[in-house]
Amino acid sequence: MRELRPEKIGKAMEQFIFTMQCDDKPGIVRACADVIGDVKGNIIENDQFTDVNSGIFYMRTVFECPRTEEEIRTQLTDAVAQFSPKLSLRGAEQKRRVLVMVSKQDHCLVDLLYRWRIGELPIDIPVIVSNHVTCESIAADYGIPFVYVPVTTETKPAAEARLLELVDEYNVDFVAMARYMQILSTELCEALSGRVINIHHSFLPGFKGAKPYHQAAERGVKLIGATAHFATADLDEGPIIEQDVRRVNHALTATDLVALGRDIEREVLSRAVRLHSEDRVMVAGHKTVVFTR
Amino acid sequence: MRELRPEKIGKAMEQFIFTMQCDDKPGIVRACADVIGDVKGNIIENDQFTDVNSGIFYMRTVFECPRTEEEIRTQLTDAVAQFSPKLSLRGAEQKRRVLVMVSKQDHCLVDLLYRWRIGELPIDIPVIVSNHVTCESIAADYGIPFVYVPVTTETKPAAEARLLELVDEYNVDFVAMARYMQILSTELCEALSGRVINIHHSFLPGFKGAKPYHQAAERGVKLIGATAHFATADLDEGPIIEQDVRRVNHALTATDLVALGRDIEREVLSRAVRLHSEDRVMVAGHKTVVFTR
Amino acid sequence: MRELRPEKIGKAMEQFIFTMQCDDKPGIVRACADVIGDVKGNIIENDQFTDVNSGIFYMRTVFECPRTEEEIRTQLTDAVAQFSPKLSLRGAEQKRRVLVMVSKQDHCLVDLLYRWRIGELPIDIPVIVSNHVTCESIAADYGIPFVYVPVTTETKPAAEARLLELVDEYNVDFVAMARYMQILSTELCEALSGRVINIHHSFLPGFKGAKPYHQAAERGVKLIGATAHFATADLDEGPIIEQDVRRVNHALTATDLVALGRDIEREVLSRAVRLHSEDRVMVAGHKTVVFTR
Amino acid sequence: MRELRPEKIGKAMEQFIFTMQCDDKPGIVRACADVIGDVKGNIIENDQFTDVNSGIFYMRTVFECPRTEEEIRTQLTDAVAQFSPKLSLRGAEQKRRVLVMVSKQDHCLVDLLYRWRIGELPIDIPVIVSNHVTCESIAADYGIPFVYVPVTTETKPAAEARLLELVDEYNVDFVAMARYMQILSTELCEALSGRVINIHHSFLPGFKGAKPYHQAAERGVKLIGATAHFATADLDEGPIIEQDVRRVNHALTATDLVALGRDIEREVLSRAVRLHSEDRVMVAGHKTVVFTR
């Protein structure tokens, strides 16, 4: 996390994160800079990107300001209305609320919880949802409500409806699928579009489908990886947020690759969750714009 | 290259590289160690691997020995005949002869030639073959014969026949396709099976087919890579020898990715050529066993 | 872990790990291969290396064999006695017993325990020792005895004596310092030479001493790393077992680097512990020979 | 390189790169956005960073604009004068002129020239300077003037004076030391402060001084690297621009490490030269701010 400058804290400045996307036109940055100046704001971080193919402009700005969120929102919204943007504004201290889903394998869940506990991830985890009871005791250790929502072919619609209720009930900003092994329906993916991060245990688009590490072992690849992406109806095709790889060789068995895969999966998912919790990830058609530091 | 111990050079010891593959049975290593002992050899490097799935044993041994290659070969062949192995033996100083193929893009060719010139690659490059004249002057700069073999749909069989003649005429051990943009026929792939290394400008099996960097840009991957593999009739499915990746982001254009790709391609191909020129690569069905250092 | 071939399990074959180091002379491999053949063993993995500078030969062999450990040991010892080797032999199923030391920061401890619990690390953890009580509840969660051994300048000799007692009492093979922030005395380092793995929160020899991430931020390095090494009297100079890095930039604060460092530290330490628990690490003067897979 | 949008080319828009650094105060971004708006500019890339410790603000903006460079410069200079900035403005098509220095080892030189020839590096190379004649023919192949400036203890001041003359005569923007093995005097470093990029054949601050690969081999590190940095009087302490590493092991000799090092050195130096030629590198005390893509 960025450290606040001590002298600024004394002035009751609060930090805000502002993101915006719209068709690229001259004057957008100026309009934003003007209004931030008008509210006595000071820009701390600023990233922008124009996708040449789509002509869409993406921006993320962090600024400190003595005004309230509502005052700023009103002025900003007016100032950029001419660009018909999709925008968001929030206090930087206001943590994203993340619902974590898991099945039986717990390495990603355990890693998210650990990072959350030591304050590395700027999120709240109000509830953990699973289609198995395997991880219930882990949730209990962390004092987080655990909701068991079993899924069969018959109960799937009801289970997904329950998930949406929980998203609502717990005021969830986004969902992290920490090795949740059920495919989401098209309807659910659309209802939560851009709000569900999945970890795919493969370097997409390398090995789609089941048992990617076994596929990798059979194909003899020299690097294996994992991919965090937004969930979409087409399972392996969602916009990619983050990826990483590790070097392997012929001597590693599928079991070895699975073990190594756990390291990559947990790290890639945690990075994606952190990026999204800081509003650094914007969906851009089939891909993402990620304003990393 | 491994440095010879000075005291050994004085004893007129020569280094030999011995590779072998056969069905795994007890006694193979012992039989080999016995015969190397009998010929007064001293093992310098030794690697072995048993593929649990196929039950095939792979071995590579480097040893120094005062006997001639023929004496050693006779004794080794007799000693391991019971295992019906596929084996090879050669003096380590005897360089592999590599025919390099190229089309118009010269970054892999230039890199191979540079490494060869400064003595980094233990190979000879007796001839360069191309379906374009673009790289003729580069070959001339290095004093290497350049053979122009144009390829059209009609002339392809004749062109491939010519290539086989050149392989024969120049006593070529293996072929390096340094961005040679023609698909080899099934017949040629079989005739030169395990003897043609191709560089695929993608992290296989990620983006098969044409324009992989454009595919990568559209898919928004966060890492791009390249793959060196043995050429097979199925273009993107040959046994993988070496791969590498570089991190990318949304801000890189397809042109940027192509430029970055050149760095990965030349390094991956050069590594694969070096590995194969030291007899470190053995085909194991759809994959390879690579005894790296 | 390597998978046993089913047909071999039926024959009551057991796997053994044999390591050896001695002055390099012709005939060593043959002597070993002979005795493994004599005891009806079948070699599964074999690695060897001769350090050209020191003239020392290092070997690690995994073989399966129907004989008892004692029978094999007797024959092996006799067969290689002429080379005056330092050797070790043990059943591959016999787990290394690892005493884990920790201070207040628990990320490495938590990671080791997690990997141990899911069976990824072939070790037993009989006891956790700390100079703080911070991690006591973590040990309790895993049902592992926790011994609090506070250290002050005055009590340091007594504390180290206590540690040696614990090593003895719990029949410990080696010690993993999982962010244990006390410097070991020269005497202790010597008493446990080659048996204490430390994780240094820096890419050695880059940033020795305290607060390496702050040093890295000030120096503006573009990669930060961590180093697992054997503890020696000279704190930052022990033989290096494993290292890794992650890319960073100017925008990361020292706090960010510390967070990123935790990821590298836990992964590097866990890898080093796994390597050593499989007898893959041999000290070679100031450095190590590591027979990775 | 960023692709121009076709419709913009028709409008005779030219791209400009603007960089600025000054004490951080509210209103800087607004002032810049205002003036870019006033000159009918459209921002294409924008990066900014405030160093919390020093309180210095760094910015780099690429914009397209129908006005002339002089018109823009006048307005920009006026608009930001209140912040007493250090600023630069230039047409993006106007290539940086790079003087390359080399001694005997040519791998970095050859790589820079290759990238320059195929248009990957947006630079001009008006002259190559060397203290040896070894690389004269390489310069001749590329049609670039080669100036031999031998250096002995006695002639060093004269040699450095000659270098400064050449910098002046050839209107050089910055110097790339492509394995130039002479230490520059304090005076020269100061005269060309922030304008000389050196490639250090080590992952600084790991192995300072001579023969770093031999040091690395002796120390048994598991990764080796290279560092591109600005030359300063203290040889190994200049602000770091770019670094990279490759994995190594005990089996690699110092000769192997040197060969692997060449790959890292040439890639790291080329990246640093490209970054600096696009005005992406700003010196920030002992370190750099690098606005990568």
Token pair of D286, please? Answer: 């002992």
C-beta separation of C33 from C51 below 8 A: no
Residue A36 pLDDT > 70: yes
pLDDT > 90: percent of chain A: 83
Residue D202 per-residue DSSP state: S
Instruction: Kindly state the average pLDDT of the residues C220-240.
Output: 91
Length of chain A: 293
Of C46, A97, A24, D211, nearest to B28 by C-alpha is: C46
| Orientation angle between helical segments D107-117 and B107-117, nearest 10 degrees | 160
Residue C193 pLDDT > 80: yes
3-state SS track over C202-246: CCCCCCCCCCHHHHHHHHCCCEEEEEEEECCCCCCCCCEEEEEEE
C-beta separation of A198 from A237 below 8 A: no
pLDDT at D3: 42
C-beta separation of B20 from B80 below 8 A: yes
For the residues of D125-185, what is the DSSP string, one character each? ---EEESSSTTHHHHHHTT--EEE----TTTHHHHHHHHHHHHHHTT-SEEEESS--SPPP
Helix (H, G, I), strand (E, B) or coil at A252: coil
Q: Which residues 230-269 of B are in CB contact (within 8 Å) with D?
A: 249, 251-253, 255-256, 259, 262-263, 267
Instruction: Kindly state the average pLDDT of the residues A24-36.
Output: 91
According to CATH, where is 3.30.70.260 located in chain B?
Answer: 6-91
Helix (H, G, I), strand (E, B) or coil at C283: strand
pLDDT > 70: percent of chain D: 96
Report how far residue C171's alpha carbon sits from residue B15's, in angstroms, rounded to the nearest whole number.
Answer: 46
Query: In this predicted model, which residue has the larger pLDDT, C61 or B210?
Result: C61
Architecture of the C96-290 domain: 3-Layer(aba) Sandwich (3.40)
Contact check, Cβ <8 Å, A253/C2: yes
Phi, psi angle pair for C246, to nearest 5° = -135, 150
- Measure the CA dihedral A130/A136/A142/A145, to 10°: 60
Task: Give domain A6-91's CATH number out of 3.30.70.260, 3.40.50.2300, 1.10.150.120, 3.40.50.970.
Answer: 3.30.70.260
Instruction: Kindly state the average pLDDT of the residues D232-254.
Output: 91
Helix (H, G, I), strand (E, B) or coil at A179: coil
Mean pLDDT estimate for chain D:
93
Q: How confident is the model at residue A8 (pLDDT cuts 50, 70, 90)?
A: very low
Residue B44 pLDDT > 60: yes
Interface test with C, best of B7, B18, B29 (most C CBs within 10 A): B29
Token pair of A72, please? Answer: 């700023």
Lowest mean pLDDT among C262-266, C267-271, D28-32: D28-32
pLDDT at C210: 82
pLDDT at A217: 86
Token pair of B260, please? Answer: 């970055």
Instruction: Kindly state the average pLDDT of the residues B228-242.
Output: 91
Residue in A206, A239, A290 closest to B205 by CB: A206
C-beta separation of D33 from A34 below 8 A: yes
The CB-side HSE value for B147 (13 A sphere, CA atoms) comes to 20
Task: Say what the ipTM of the complex is.
Answer: 0.92
Residue B59 per-residue DSSP state: E
Q: Chain D partners of A43 at a C-beta cutoff of 8 Å?
A: 29, 48
Report how far residue A39's alpha carbon sits from residue D26's, in angstroms, rounded to the nearest whole number.
Answer: 11
Q: How confident is the model at residue C11 (pLDDT cuts 50, 70, 90)?
A: low
C105-128, pLDDT tens digit by residue? 999 999 999 999 999 999 999 999
Pairing state of beta strands C96-102 and C174-177? parallel
Contact check, Cβ <8 Å, D34/A29: no
The sign of the torsion formed by the CA atoms of B109, B111, B117, B122 equals negative
Q: Chain D partners of B3 at a C-beta cutoff of 8 Å?
A: 253, 255
pLDDT at C4: 40
Query: In this predicted model, which residue has the larger pLDDT, B148 or D217?
Result: B148
Of D139, D126, D59, D132, nearest to D99 by C-alpha is: D126
Helix (H, G, I), strand (E, B) or coil at B2: coil
Catalytic sites of A, residue numbers: 236
Residue C67 pLDDT > 60: yes
Phi, psi angle pair for B286, to nearest 5° = -85, -10
Residue C1 pLDDT > 70: no
Exposure letters B76-95 (e unless 16+ CB within 10 A, then b): beebbeebebebebbebeeb
Instruction: Kindly state the average pLDDT of the residues B79-103.
Output: 96
Residue C80 pLDDT > 90: yes
> Chain A closest CA to C216's CA: distance in Å?
17
Helix (H, G, I), strand (E, B) or coil at D191: helix
C42-57, pLDDT tens digit by residue? 999 999 999 988 999 9
- B neighbour chains, 3+ CB pairs within 8 Å: A, C, D
The one-letter amino acid at A60? R
Report how far residue C227's alpha carbon sits from residue C236's, in angstroms, rounded to the nearest whole number.
Answer: 10
Of A113, A108, A99, A135, nearest to A268 by C-alpha is: A108
C-beta separation of A18 from A29 below 8 A: no
DSSP3 helix / strand / coil % (chain C, rounded to 5):
35, 30, 35
Residue B288 pLDDT > 60: yes
The sign of the torsion formed by the CA atoms of A279, A280, A281, A284 equals positive
Residue C153 per-residue DSSP state: T
Residue B12 pLDDT > 80: no
Residue A1 pLDDT > 60: no
Phi, psi angle pair for B265, to nearest 5° = -60, -50
Report how far residue B62's alpha carbon sits from residue B65's, in angstroms, rounded to the nearest whole number.
Answer: 10
Q: Which residues 68-107 of A are in CB contact (within 8 Å) with C?
A: 107
The one-letter amino acid at B287? K
The sign of the torsion formed by the CA atoms of B64, B69, B71, B77 equals positive
Instruction: Kindly state the average pLDDT of the residues D148-171.
Output: 97
pLDDT at A11: 54
- Which residues partner with D176 through β-bridges? D100, D197
Q: Is D11 on the interface with A (CB under 8 A)?
A: no
- Measure the CA dihedral D209/D213/D214/D215, to 10°: 60
Q: Could you give the residue ranges of the DSSP H alpha helices within chain A?
A: 6-10, 28-38, 69-80, 107-117, 136-141, 156-169, 186-191, 212-219, 254-277
Of D278, D179, D263, nearest to D224 by C-alpha is: D263
Query: In this predicted model, which residue has the larger pLDDT, B173 or D254?
Result: B173
Q: Is D52 on the interface with C (CB under 8 A)?
A: yes
Lowest mean pLDDT among A7-16, B136-145, B215-224, C237-246: A7-16
B141 is a catalytic site residue? no
Instruction: Kindly state the average pLDDT of the residues D2-17.
Output: 62
The one-letter amino acid at D260? L
Of C144, C209, C180, nearest to C269 by C-alpha is: C180
Q: How far is CA D28 from the centre of its chain?
A: 26
Report how far residue B162's alpha carbon sits from residue B179's, in angstroms, rounded to the nearest whole number.
Answer: 19
Residue A98 pLDDT > 80: yes
Instruction: Kindly state the average pLDDT of the residues D155-175.
Output: 98
B152-163, pLDDT tens digit by residue? 999 999 999 999
Instruction: Kindly state the average pLDDT of the residues D170-176.
Output: 98
Please state whether B209 falls in left (phi above 0), alpha (psi between -120 and 50) or beta: left
Instruction: Kindly state the average pLDDT of the residues B68-95.
Output: 95
A147-183, pLDDT tens digit by residue? 999 999 999 999 999 999 999 999 999 999 999 999 9
Interface test with C, best of D57, D223, D289, D291 (most C CBs within 10 A): D223
Of B117, B185, B109, nearest to B146 by C-alpha is: B109
- Which residues partner with C57 through β-bridges? C22, C50
Q: How confident is the model at residue B291 (pLDDT cuts 50, 70, 90)?
A: very high
| Orientation angle between helical segments C107-117 and C254-277, nearest 10 degrees | 40
> Chain B closest CA to C40's CA: distance in Å?
8
Of B184, B220, B215, nearest to B202 by C-alpha is: B215
Helix (H, G, I), strand (E, B) or coil at D93: coil
Alpha-carbon Rg for chain D, nearest whole angstrom, is 21
In chain A, whose CA is at the least distance from the CA of D52?
A5
Report how far residue B32's alpha carbon sits from residue B263's, in angstroms, rounded to the nearest whole number.
Answer: 41
All residues at 6 or more sequence positions from B156 whose CB lies less than 8 Å from its CB, including other chains: B182, B185
Catalytic sites of C, residue numbers: 236
According to CATH, where is 3.40.50.170 located in chain A?
Answer: 96-290
The one-letter amino acid at D39? V
C-beta separation of B244 from B228 below 8 A: no
Residue A81 per-residue DSSP state: G
Report how far residue A74's alpha carbon sits from residue B173's, in angstroms, rounded to the nearest whole number.
Answer: 74
Report how far residue A175's alpha carbon sits from residue A170's, in angstroms, rounded to the nearest whole number.
Answer: 11
Residue C94 per-residue DSSP state: S
Of C95, C103, C89, nearest to C159 by C-alpha is: C103
Instruction: Kindly state the average pLDDT of the residues B110-126.
Output: 97
